[in-house]
């Protein structure tokens, strides 16, 4: 490959725009979360809580899920394009994921909430499923993972009184490193992120069910790529419309069952002082289903509007989606120093409305910057580096 120039290939702009929307969702959560420092001193002010709960209800756990879904679609597209050229891209894709994981490891030195490492690991999990021909089987596997089988096993074991299943989540005992909020240096923050931060992240990802959810959504994304959900949008117009209604109904049932009826759905599972985990696990399962339902509503509504009355406006997000990696990293590189004690230390003084407003303004600037960038370049800088590392050559088209 080192003797060949790797050319730019045409993209599906609806998928790029959706990925850009997912990045917006992630950022609009990170900002009022103060890049995780909100949890060091959560406010009890009603106005602050209103904004925090609003953003987390709309996007918390949903944008991340959306990114996992698009990751699965992109995986299929890359593998399928290579297959149509008579190439088996498996080994190179594994290397591509290793490179992404290395980028994530570097990123987690600045921000412990890095998601790139997680996506890289889940990408390795999804690779074998590319070779499964049966769409119904793949869909069943994806749905099975979304049902949180391990959590169900632990929940039923806990109801039977088994000690291991009634142990509290390990990440509950995690604490916010003091260097994040009090007189920390950059070096101390990096050290805390690499040790306590990474162990907390992986424990949370596993125990909260996020790993199973990401795996399931990645497989379903693979299915969407395989059936041409994004490449042949008109073929699925009626199915999308039905999906919007079904997902909206599921959202309402789960939301009211979790929040507006004294937790009727949650209280369906008994709890005692010695048996607290089954109900906690059931609540986590239901919350995960709510997140997936609302994520599905966002995705289906977005694609319906994109191929309807709003394409002109939603397509503004397409350049953002083409350089998601670059812009995601840039958000952390700029705002972690804004909030953390080694930088401006604004975590204790910035209000939720200001954080949300700042997120909207900064993301709008990223949209403008992305449009300007792609007038002159084929890839975002980190996307180019990732692609060049994937092919292990510098002969990747960059400047137009």
Residues 292-309 have pLDDT tens digits of 999 999 999 999 999 999
Q: What is the pLDDT of residues 12-30, one digit of tens each?
A: 899 999 999 999 999 999 9
Sign of CA dihedral 386, 383, 91, 120: positive
CA distance 325 to 121: 16
DSSP 3-state of 399: strand
pTM of the model: 0.94
Per the structure block, which two tokens stand in for 80? 């399928």
Q: Read off the pLDDT band of 175 (50, 70, 90).
A: confident
In whole angstroms, give the CA distance from residue 232 to residue 14.
11
For the chain, how many residues are written? Answer: 400
Q: What is the pLDDT of residue 268?
A: 87
Task: Round the CA-based radius of gyration of the chain to a whole number and report it.
Answer: 21
* Residue 83 structure tokens: 């297959």
Handedness of CA 328, 329, 335, 340 (dihedral sign): positive
Average predicted confidence (pLDDT) for the chain: 94
How many whole angstroms separate alpha carbon 237 and alpha carbon 243? 10
Q: Which of 8-17, 207-216, 307-316, 343-352 has the lowest mean pLDDT?
A: 8-17
- In this model, does residue 281 exceed pLDDT 50? yes
Would residue 148 be called left, alpha or beta, if left means φ above 0 and alpha means ψ between -120 and 50 degrees? left
**pLDDT of 6 above 70:** no
Burial class from Cβ neighbours inside 10 Å (0-12, 13-18, 19+) for residue 42 reads exposed
| 130 pLDDT more than 60 | yes
Q: Tell me which residue of 368, 169, 182 sits closest to 276, measured CA to CA.
A: 169
Asked whether the CA dihedral 190, 195, 196, 200 is positive or negative, the reply is positive
Residues 174, 203 contacting (CB under 8 angstroms): yes
Q: Is 258 exposed, middle or buried (0-12, 13-18, 19+ CB in 10 A)?
A: middle
Distance CA 154, CA 325 (A): 36
**Which pLDDT value is given to residue 10?**
54
The residue whose two tokens read 């073929």 is 235
Report for 45-49, 137-141, 182-186: range of highest mean pLDDT: 137-141
pLDDT class for 140, splitting at 50, 70, 90?
very high
């Amino acid at each position: 490959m080192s003797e060949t120039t790797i050319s730019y290939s045409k993209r599906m702009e609806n998928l790029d725009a959706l990925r850009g929307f997912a990045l917006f969702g992630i950022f609009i959560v990170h900002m009022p979360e103060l890049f995780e420092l909100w949890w060091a001193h959560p406010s009890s002010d009603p106005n602050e809580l209103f904004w925090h709960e609003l953003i987390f209800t709309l996007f918390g756990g949903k944008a991340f899920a959306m990114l996992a879904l698009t990751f699965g679609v992109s995986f299929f597209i890359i593998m399928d394009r290579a297959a149509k050229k008579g190439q088996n891209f498996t080994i190179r894709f594994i290397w591509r994921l290793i490179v992404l994981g290395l980028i994530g490891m570097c990123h987690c030195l600045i921000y412990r909430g890095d998601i790139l490492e997680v996506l890289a690991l889940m990408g390795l999990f999804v690779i074998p499923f590319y070779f499964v021909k049966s769409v119904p089987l793949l869909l069943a596997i994806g749905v099975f993972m979304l049902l949180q089988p391990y959590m169900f096993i632990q929940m039923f074991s806990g109801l039977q009184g088994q000690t291991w299943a009634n142990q509290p989540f390990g990440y509950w005992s995690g604490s916010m490193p003091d260097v994040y909020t009090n007189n920390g240096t950059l070096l101390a923050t990096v050290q805390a992120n690499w040790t306590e931060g990474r162990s907390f992240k992986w424990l949370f990802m596993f125990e909260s069910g996020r790993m199973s959810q990401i795996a399931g959504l990645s497989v379903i994304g693979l299915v969407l790529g395989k059936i041409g959900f994004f490449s042949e949008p008109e073929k699925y117009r009626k199915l999308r419309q039905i999906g919007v209604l079904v997902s909206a109904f599921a959202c309402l049932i789960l939301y009211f069952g979790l929040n507006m009826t004294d937790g009727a759905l949650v209280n369906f599972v008994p709890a005692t002082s010695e048996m607290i985990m089954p109900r906690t696990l059931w609540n986590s399962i239901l919350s995960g289903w709510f997140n997936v339902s609302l994520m599905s509503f966002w995705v289906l509504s977005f694609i319906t509007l994109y191929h309807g009355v709003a394409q002109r406006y939603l397509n503004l997000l397409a350049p953002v989606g083409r350089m998601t990696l670059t812009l995601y990293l840039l958000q952390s590189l700029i705002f972690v120093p804004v909030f953390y004690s080694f930088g401006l230390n604004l975590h204790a003084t910035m209000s939720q409305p200001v954080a949300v407003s700042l997120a909207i303004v900064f993301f709008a600037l990223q949209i403008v910057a992305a449009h300007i960038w792609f007038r002159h370049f084929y890839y975002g800088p980190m996307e180019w580096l990732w692609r060049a590392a994937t092919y292990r050559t510098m002969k990747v088209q960059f400047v137009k």
